[in-house]
């Protein structure tokens, strides 16, 4: 073995040296090519930008069609500029962008939606989400059966123009989705706003998964959908802590006076997380009747409960502030007194700021 | 006896050759995996609008925790950079860890800080907190002044104060790209249940122009040591960490820039107070805990959110820093020996831990042993010089190849060095580092074993030039 070693080292040295030199040449040439390509890209981009701005300021369909025809062979630059403009332009200008997309890029995008390559499908789904209209819905719906990352992009695309049929598909996908992705669904579905109300109501009745139920409740609160109060309140006694927490959170956003009685009960829940959320919600309701509960919360042994009671009392207004002053003065519970002092300090610095 | 010693030396020298081959092959494997990973990541994130996150109802708010010990020259620039980040909801917690310079005074003056009676839940025990300051000018900013307790303790104090479910650990001598949080948080939105930690790229700000808390112009530093370190950072972040992340066994998320789930960090007791390398220690303990609890998780690295940090430009300071890093590494590995070659810990136990133990930890010792053996054989006239020279050249070329692949990764992922000449300079330094710098680093790292045995626990303070002093 030792006799073979020197020649092995020599050969390895020559091989690695050649490899390194090739790699170096590749890096340099790639950089040169990319610099040239970038310069070309920029030239085209600037030219396109001029024409696109012109088309947007003129308005109407024809100027947009002209831009699309002129640049349909430069798909990559056109795609980039459309995405950049989408971030910058709102209102009617976006319609011009959509017309350009429809005339120059739509066909290719639809073809790529069926591509064998994951990346192409993903990019096409995202593009379709940004620019396409209801006519592409059926193809996007097909993508709901694709891999998770494309499913999410498809859901995102579908809620951009949420009609009843799309939303039904999206919620169906949500119901069938495995748990790790459901948070992301909730984020995306939120974009559809109040239109999701009938679907949330229906799925609150259907869903068996605690996690999905919690997310639907959270969604109902986040949008918010106060008309779902009776449905949400029905879960106030759910055996799962997570669900009860989300109920209290949603009720705190609904601000429905009828929720007071349920929140009052939840403020005495056996789990401190539920108590904490219920106290915050009671504060949001601004019902003076909550003063006693919120004060009691301030003396809780659990920091989170004390903290939320503090926020609740601040939200109650002058009545709550007076109570905070009293608690800050008392000496029997230092933790409650500290929490009340902090609240008063926050209030005074907020006043200073304003 | 002599014959026995001879054969022992012979065996050792052959083992060193095999070791050399193995270590370089593994590095090369990681670099190849990184290439695939970066290429894939870039294509998968094309047409993603990062600002979409602003419209998400469940966008996770972030607490940025910045421990600061004698960071006077940089602190204002860093905090301004953090306050200017693009993210829907976040807070910046600066923990002044008993600085003996004017760190706190500068913060108080610049942001009109006022002492508050803020009450917090002490989830982790820390050195006493002297005061908590908030700013009417900057509601996102909270400054915690505490008795010195080292970086891990300062991070824990920040964790106690943090209000949000994710926390981002950032060094006070670093600045983030404005969209760095938007990028680094993506895995937490895409896979919120499993993602526990995400690391981004740390790059050197030496030679760059930093103004208004942002890197305005990227340039090559004039300092030779900083140039060597540029290459090291590229290899470590784009090569090593990306590669290990691809194999789901990333062990280090830099303390300079990492995002974690607070609930999981609190479950393992936060940062270990006595840890020298607190960043690696946290990730290894997270992995250990999650594997033992059989909780599916992801700790991942993504190649585009950038954090800029200042590298030491003086040899003494660099030696102190590397000595500390190596002591941290040794301490973490020896503290978790149970994980090495233990299939219970998956790829972490079967690949990452053995790799770090045998190649990163013992590497400097074995390299020095190799030099020692060369001297021994040379003294006895037993060196076959043509072979020795060829082998030395092979080591240089192998090292250069790895550096070139790291540069290629940089070209694919970021291409931040605008001038072609910069690429040539970095490549040249990839060759030059083999002629003295690398050997010196091995010596410094090997010496850390001695310091660890002697119980030297000092932090190894950095001397900061400060971003603001950088000349355009």
B300 and B377 part of one domain: no
**What pLDDT score was predicted for residue B470?**
42
**What pLDDT score was predicted for residue A296?**
94
Q: Are A100 and A64 in contact (CB under 8 A)?
A: yes
Q: Distance between CA A306 and CA A312 in Å, rounded? A: 10
Q: Distance between CA B251 and CA B238 in Å, rounded? A: 14
Query: Is residue B423 within 8 angstroms of chain A, CB to CB?
Result: yes
Domain's final residue, options B276, B296, B314: B314
DSSP-based three-state secondary structure for B127: coil
**What pLDDT score was predicted for residue B215?**
83
pLDDT tens track for B362-379:
999 998 888 888 888 888
- Least Cα distance to B256 among B227, B228, B226, B236 occurs for B236
Query: Is residue B411 within 8 angstroms of chain A, CB to CB?
Result: yes
Q: Distance between CA B460 and CA B314 in Å, rounded? A: 13
A136-175 residues touching B, CB cutoff 8 A: 149, 152
Q: Is the pLDDT of residue B310 over 80?
A: yes
Number of H helices, E strands in chain A: 20, 0
Integer angstrom CA distances of residue B443 from A251, B368, B446, B450, B457: 64, 7, 5, 11, 18
A72: which residues sit within 8 A by CB, 6+ positions away? A78, A103, A104, A105
Q: Is the pLDDT of residue B141 over 90?
A: yes
H helix runs in B278-384, sequence order: 278-292, 315-335, 346-347, 353-355, 363-379
B126 and B167 part of one domain: yes
B399 within a domain of the structure (yes/no): yes
Q: Is the pLDDT of residue A2 over 60?
A: no
- Least Cα distance to B166 among B90, B96, B86, B93 occurs for B90
B405 within a domain of the structure (yes/no): yes
A175-194 residues touching B, CB cutoff 8 A: 179-181, 183-184, 186-187, 190-191
DSSP-based three-state secondary structure for A186: helix
B397 with A187: Cβ contact below 8 A: no
A248 CB neighbour count, 10 Å cutoff: 30
B87 and B19 part of one domain: no
Query: Is residue B3 within 8 angstroms of chain A, CB to CB?
Result: no
**Cα within 13 Å of Cα(B364), Cβ side:** 21
Mean pLDDT score across all residues of chain B = 87
pLDDT tens track for A210-265:
888 988 998 899 889 999 999 999 999 999 999 999 999 999 999 999 999 999 99
**What pLDDT score was predicted for residue A324?**
93
Q: Are B251 and B352 in contact (CB under 8 A)?
A: yes
CB contacts < 8 A (A, B)? 128
**What pLDDT score was predicted for residue B110?**
92
User: Once rounded to an integer, what is the mean pLDDT over residues A65-71?
Assistant: 89
Nearest CB to B57 within list A13, A190, A306: A190
B305 and B386 part of one domain: no
A230-235 long-range contacts, CB within 8 A, separation 24+: A231/A201, A231/A204, A231/A205, A232/A204, A233/A259, A233/A262, A235/A204
Tokens of B438: 């690398």
- Range ranked top by mean pLDDT from A201-205, B288-292, B450-454: B288-292
Q: How far is CA A344 from the centre of its chain?
A: 34
pLDDT tens track for A6-49:
777 788 888 889 999 999 999 889 888 988 998 999 999 999 99
Q: Distance between CA B262 and CA B1 in Å, rounded? A: 60
Using an 8 Å CB-CB cutoff, list chain A residues near B48.
Answer: 126
Q: Is the pLDDT of residue B467 over 80?
A: no
**What pLDDT score was predicted for residue B463?**
56
Q: Strand pairing partners for B211?
A: B214
B222-261 residues touching A, CB cutoff 8 A: none
The label of the residue with tokens 């401190």 reads: A272
A179 CB neighbour count, 10 Å cutoff: 12
Nearest CB to A303 within list B121, B397, B407: B121
Cβ burial, residue B85 (10 Å; 0-12/13-18/19+): buried
Please give the residue of chain A at the shortest CA–CA distance from B194.
A180
Percent helix / strand / coil, chain A, rounded to 5: 80, 0, 20
Helix or strand run (H / E) with residue B426: helix B420-432
B94 and B232 part of one domain: yes
Q: Are B97 and B70 in contact (CB under 8 A)?
A: no
A23 CB neighbour count, 10 Å cutoff: 18
Tokens of B154: 């300062």
A149 with B411: Cβ contact below 8 A: no
Helix or strand run (H / E) with residue B24: helix B2-44
Q: Is the pLDDT of residue B282 over 90?
A: yes
Q: Which of A1, A4, A8, A13 to mutate to test the interface with B (most CBs of B within 10 A)?
A: A13
Q: Distance between CA B231 and CA B209 in Å, rounded? A: 19
Tokens of A334: 């230092």
Q: Distance between CA A177 and CA A159 in Å, rounded? A: 17
Integer angstrom CA distances of residue A194 from A157, A199, A250, B353: 17, 10, 15, 51
B306 and B378 part of one domain: no
Using an 8 Å CB-CB cutoff, list chain A residues near B408.
Answer: 23, 26-27
**What pLDDT score was predicted for residue B15?**
82
Q: Are A104 and A68 in contact (CB under 8 A)?
A: yes
A130 with B420: Cβ contact below 8 A: no
Q: Is the pLDDT of residue A128 over 70?
A: yes
A289 CB neighbour count, 10 Å cutoff: 11
Q: Are B271 and B155 in contact (CB under 8 A)?
A: yes
B157 within a domain of the structure (yes/no): yes
- Least Cα distance to B196 among B286, B303, B302 occurs for B286
Helix or strand run (H / E) with residue B66: strand B62-68
Query: Is residue A8 within 8 angstroms of chain B, CB to CB?
Result: no
B278 and B386 part of one domain: no
B157: which residues sit within 8 A by CB, 6+ positions away? B95, B97, B126, B127, B129, B144, B146, B149
B439 within a domain of the structure (yes/no): yes
Q: Which of B22, B131, B162, B404 to mutate to test the interface with A (most CBs of A within 10 A)?
A: B404
Q: Are A346 and A337 in contact (CB under 8 A)?
A: no
DSSP-based three-state secondary structure for B300: strand
Domain count, chain B: 2
Please state, for a pLDDT cut of 70, what percent of chain B lies above it.
93
Integer angstrom CA distances of residue A64 from A53, A54, A95, A124, B404: 10, 9, 9, 21, 46
- Least Cα distance to B120 among B108, B136, B130, B132 occurs for B132
Phi, psi (degrees; rounded to nearest 5) at B461: -65, 145
Q: How confident is the model at residue B402 (pLDDT cuts 50, 70, 90)?
A: confident
Kindly provide the ipTM of the predicted complex, given to two decimals.
0.77
Mean pLDDT score across all residues of chain A = 86
Question: Rg of chain A's alpha carbons, rounded to an integer?
Answer: 30
B389 within a domain of the structure (yes/no): yes
**What pLDDT score was predicted for residue A179?**
63
**What pLDDT score was predicted for residue B382?**
78
B12 CB neighbour count, 10 Å cutoff: 14
Q: Are B58 and B258 in contact (CB under 8 A)?
A: no
Q: Give the domain range for residue B112.
A: 57-314
**What pLDDT score was predicted for residue B218?**
85
Nearest CB to A6 within list B117, B387, B405: B387
Task: Write the DSSP assignment of A91-153 as a string of letters.
Answer: THHHHHHHHHHHHHTHHHHHHHTT-SSHHHHHHHHHHHHHH--GGGHHHHHHGGGS-HHHHHH
Q: Distance between CA B82 and CA B170 in Å, rounded? A: 9
B57 with A186: Cβ contact below 8 A: yes
Task: Kindly tell me the sign of the dihedral angle through the C-alpha atoms of B298, B311, B469, B96.
Answer: positive
**Cα within 13 Å of Cα(B193), Cβ side:** 13
B380-399 residues touching A, CB cutoff 8 A: 384, 386-387, 390-391, 393-394, 397-398
B50-55 long-range contacts, CB within 8 A, separation 24+: B50/B179, B50/B182, B50/B183, B51/A87, B51/B86, B51/B182, B53/B87, B53/B88, B53/B182, B53/B185, B53/B189, B54/B88, B55/A190, B55/A191
Query: Is residue A122 within 8 angstroms of chain B, CB to CB?
Result: yes
- Determine the distance in angstroms separating the CA of B235 from the nearest CA of chain A, rounded to an integer: 16
Q: Is the pLDDT of residue B66 over 90?
A: yes
Using an 8 Å CB-CB cutoff, list chain A residues near B193.
Answer: 179-180, 183
B441 and B380 part of one domain: yes
**What pLDDT score was predicted for residue A240?**
92
B409 within a domain of the structure (yes/no): yes
Nearest CB to B408 within list A27, A222, A342: A27
B331 within a domain of the structure (yes/no): no
B388 and B294 part of one domain: no
Task: Write the DSSP assignment of A255-268 as a string of letters.
Answer: --GGGHHHHHHHTT
Q: pTM for this structure? A: 0.81
- Determine the distance in angstroms separating the CA of B43 from the nearest CA of chain A, rounded to an integer: 6
Please give the residue of chain A at the shortest CA–CA distance from B54.
A187
Query: Is residue A25 within 8 angstroms of chain B, CB to CB?
Result: no
Query: Is residue B46 within 8 angstroms of chain A, CB to CB?
Result: yes
User: Once rounded to an integer, what is the mean pLDDT over residues A56-63?
Assistant: 86
B411 with A30: Cβ contact below 8 A: yes
Task: Kindly tell me the sign of the dihedral angle through the C-alpha atoms of B407, B411, B415, B420.
Answer: positive
Query: Is residue B372 within 8 angstroms of chain A, CB to CB?
Result: no
Please state, for a pLDDT cut of 90, what percent of chain B lies above it.
42
B151: left (phi over 0), alpha (psi -120 to 50) or beta: alpha
pLDDT tens track for B202-216:
988 888 888 777 888
Q: Are B199 and B63 in contact (CB under 8 A)?
A: no
Using an 8 Å CB-CB cutoff, list chain A residues near B14.
Answer: 2
Please give the residue of chain A at the shortest CA–CA distance from B387.
A6
B246 within a domain of the structure (yes/no): yes
């Amino acid at each position: 073995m030792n006799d073979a070693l020197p020649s092995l080292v020599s050969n390895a040295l020559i091989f690695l040296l050649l490899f390194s030199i090739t790699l170096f040449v590749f890096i340099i040439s790639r950089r040169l090519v990319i610099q040239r390509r970038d310069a070309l890209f920029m030239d085209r981009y600037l030219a396109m930008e001029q024409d696109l701005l012109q088309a947007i300021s003129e308005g109407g369909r024809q100027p947009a069609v002209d831009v699309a025809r002129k640049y349909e062979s430069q798909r990559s630059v056109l795609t980039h500029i459309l995405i950049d403009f989408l971030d910058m332009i709102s209102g009617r200008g976006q319609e011009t962008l959509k017309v350009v997309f429809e005339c120059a890029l739509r066909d290719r995008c639809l073809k790529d939606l069926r591509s064998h390559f994951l990346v192409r499908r993903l990019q096409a789904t995202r593009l379709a989400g940004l620019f396409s209209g209801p006519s592409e819905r059926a193809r996007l719906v097909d993508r709901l059966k694709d891999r998770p990352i494309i499913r999410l992009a498809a859901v995102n695309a579908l809620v951009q123009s949420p009609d009843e049929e799309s939303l039904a598909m999206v919620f169906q996908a949500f119901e069938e989705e495995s748990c790790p992705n459901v948070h992301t669904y909730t984020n995306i579905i939120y974009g559809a706003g109040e239109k999701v109300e009938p679907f949330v109501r229906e799925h609150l009745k259907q869903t068996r998964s605690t996690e999905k139920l919690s997310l639907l409740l959270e969604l109902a609160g986040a949008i918010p959908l106060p008309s779902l109060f009776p449905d949400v309140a029905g879960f106030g006694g759910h055996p799962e802590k997570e669900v009860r927490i989300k109920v209290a959170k949603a009720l705190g956003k609904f601000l429905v006076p009828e929720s007071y009685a349920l929140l009052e009960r939840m403020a005495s829940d056996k789990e401190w997380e539920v108590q904490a959320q219920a106290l915050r919600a009671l504060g949001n309701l601004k019902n003076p009747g909550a003063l006693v509960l919120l004060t009691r919360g301030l003396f809780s042994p659990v920091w989170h409960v004390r903290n939320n009671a503090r926020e609740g009392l601040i939200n109650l207004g002058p009545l709550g502030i007076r109570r905070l002053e009293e608690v800050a003065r008392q000496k029997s519970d230092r933790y409650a007194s500290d929490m009340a002092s902090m609240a008063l300090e926050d209030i005074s610095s907020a006043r200073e700021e304003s | 006896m002599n014959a026995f010693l001879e054969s022992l030396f012979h065996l050792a020298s052959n083992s060193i050759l095999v070791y050399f081959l193995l270590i370089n092959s593994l590095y090369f494997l990681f670099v190849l995996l990184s290439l695939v990973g970066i290429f894939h990541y870039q294509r998968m994130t094309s047409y993603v609008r990062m600002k979409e996150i602003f419209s998400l109802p469940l966008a996770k708010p972030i607490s940025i925790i910045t421990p600061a010990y004698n960071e006077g020259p940089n602190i204002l620039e860093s905090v301004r950079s953090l306050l200017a980040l693009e993210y829907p909801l976040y807070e910046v917690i600066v923990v002044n860890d008993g600085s003996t310079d004017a760190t706190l005074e500068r913060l108080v003056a610049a942001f009109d800080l006022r002492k508050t009676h803020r009450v917090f839940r002490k989830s982790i025990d820390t050195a006493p907190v002297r005061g908590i300051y908030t700013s009417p000018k900057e509601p996102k900013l909270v400054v915690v002044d505490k008795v010195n307790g080292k970086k891990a303790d300062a991070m824990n104090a920040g964790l106690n104060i943090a209000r949000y479910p994710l926390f981002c650990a950032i060094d006070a001598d670093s600045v983030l790209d404005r969209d760095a949080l938007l990028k680094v948080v993506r895995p937490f939105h895409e896979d919120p249940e499993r993602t526990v930690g995400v690391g981004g790229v740390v790059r050197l700000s030496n030679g760059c122009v930093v103004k208004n808390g942002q890197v305005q112009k990227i340039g090559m530093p004039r300092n030779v040591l900083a140039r060597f370190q540029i290459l090291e950072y590229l290899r470590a972040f784009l090569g090593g960490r990306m590669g290990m992340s691809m194999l789901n066994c990333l062990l280090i998320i830099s303390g300079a820039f990492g995002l974690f789930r607070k609930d999981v960090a609190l479950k393992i007791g936060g940062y270990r107070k006595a840890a020298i390398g607190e960043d690696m220690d946290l990730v290894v303990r997270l992995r250990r805990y999650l594997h033992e609890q059989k909780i599916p998780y992801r700790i991942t690295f993504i190649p585009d959110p950038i954090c800029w940090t200042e590298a030491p430009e003086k040899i003494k300071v660099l030696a102190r820093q590397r000595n500390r890093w190596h002591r941290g590494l040794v301490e973490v590995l020896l503290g978790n020996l149970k994980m090495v070659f233990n299939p219970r810990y998956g790829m972490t136990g079967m690949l990452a831990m053995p790799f770090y133990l045998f190649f990163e930890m013992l590497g400097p010792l074995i390299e020095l042993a190799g030099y020692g053996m060369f001297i021994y054989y040379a003294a006895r006239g037993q060196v076959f010089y043509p072979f020795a020279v060829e082998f030395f050249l092979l080591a240089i070329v192998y090292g250069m190849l790895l550096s070139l692949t790291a540069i290629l990764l940089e070209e694919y992922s970021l291409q931040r060095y605008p001038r072609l000449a910069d690429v040539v300079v970095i490549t040249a330094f990839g060759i030059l580092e083999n002629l003295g710098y690398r050997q010196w680093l091995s010596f410094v790292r090997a010496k850390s074993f001695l310091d660890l045995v002697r119980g030297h626990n000092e932090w190894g303070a950095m001397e900061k030039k400060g971003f603001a002093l950088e000349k355009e």
